[in-house]
Amino acid sequence: MLSDFKKFVLRGNVVDLAVGVVMGVAFGAVITAIVSGLLTPIIAAVIGKPHFSKLHFTIHHSTFLYGAVIDAVISFVLIAAGVFFFVVKPINMLMERRKTEPDVDSTTRDCPECLSSIRVPAKRCAFCTAQVGPAAAPA
């Protein structure tokens, strides 16, 4: 039973998931610091209130803290904006720069017999040796 547990724990996807969770927690702390240290003070400078949590109203001795909801929505929007502009956009730009391979679709086509990928000018499939006709004109 111990060897089964060891196999389970050391499986690639379990370790990858654990690393992902740890990195997510650490990254969450960074994004929270950016939002609370940089973006929230900008809102406070514009609006004049850094926090809305004290806003409330009372009906029949029940207190409704609508300011806490406003704070949560603003935090969510700021965190989403921080992730998008500070992580997603830069990563997408880096990935676009690293993309050096040619467009595979424009240089290959499928063999009609075995459906293997063959070069466009080929007259015979390298995998099944079937003769293939000329490539169809792109639509």
Q: Which helix (H) or strand (E) holds 64?
A: strand 62-64
Helices and strands in the chain, H and E counts: 6, 4
Give me the pLDDT at residue 73, please. 85
Rounded Cα–Cα distance for residues 55 and 16 (Å): 43
Q: Which two tokens stand for residue 118?
A: 């063959």
Top-tier CATH class for 10-98:
mainly alpha
**Does position 95 have pLDDT exceeding 80, yes or no?**
yes
Percentage of residues in the chain with pLDDT exceeding 90? 0
> Which sequence spans correspond to the domains of the chain?
10-98, 103-133
Whether the per-residue pLDDT at 102 is higher than 80: the answer is: no
pLDDT by residue (tens digit) across 15-43?
778 778 888 888 888 877 877 777 777 87
Residue 136 has pLDDT above 70, yes or no: no
Residue whose tokens read 């900008």: 42
